[in-house]
Amino acid sequence: MEKKLLRYTIIVIIFFVGLSMGVTYQQNNRSNLQATLDSYEDEITTPNNDFKPVNPTTNPDYIYQESEEIDHNLVSGLAQDGEYVIKKGLDLILDTSNNIFRFIFGIK
């Protein structure tokens, strides 16, 4: 019994330590993001400014990376099969819920 209690206590402590680390990380990023947003809003709301939005496809700093050819092997085949199963499962769930809502509300 004591081993289970100790195990659960350690899990709870690790959970709260990870949670506190995530909150600190989000707050640091949020302040940096807010400063960037404030400077951007100041720039675009200034009357008679020469702000021009940048199109990423015509920006010379934008680097387009073509996707690599995928070598078909056992892992990629299993991934494609898994994707197919998930898609069909979601389609089945959506169709079933659609039929249930049509039956409940009398829609034909």
Residues 41 and 76 in one domain: no
pTM (2 decimals)?
A: 0.34
DSSP state of 69: P
Residues 43 and 78 in one domain: no
Q: What is the mean predicted confidence (pLDDT) over 82-106?
A: 89
Lowest mean pLDDT among 25-39, 56-70, 78-92: 56-70
Residues 76 and 43 in one domain: no
As for how many domains the chain has, the answer is 2
> Where does the pLDDT of residue 20 fall: very low under 50, low under 70, confident under 90, or very high at 90 and above?
confident
Range of the domain at 1: 1-47
Q: Which residues of 1-40 are buried (b: 16+ CB within 10 A; e: fewer)?
A: eeeeeeeeeeeeeeeeeeeeeeeeeeeeeeeeeeeeeeee
Confidence at residue 93, expressed as pLDDT on a 0 to 100 scale: 92
21 within a domain of the structure (yes/no): yes
Q: Residue 14 is which amino acid?
A: I
59 within a domain of the structure (yes/no): no
56 within a domain of the structure (yes/no): no
Query: Residue 26 pLDDT more than 70?
Result: no
60 within a domain of the structure (yes/no): no
Residues 43 and 1 in one domain: yes
In tens, the pLDDT along 31-65 reads 777 788 888 888 788 888 777 776 666 666 656 56
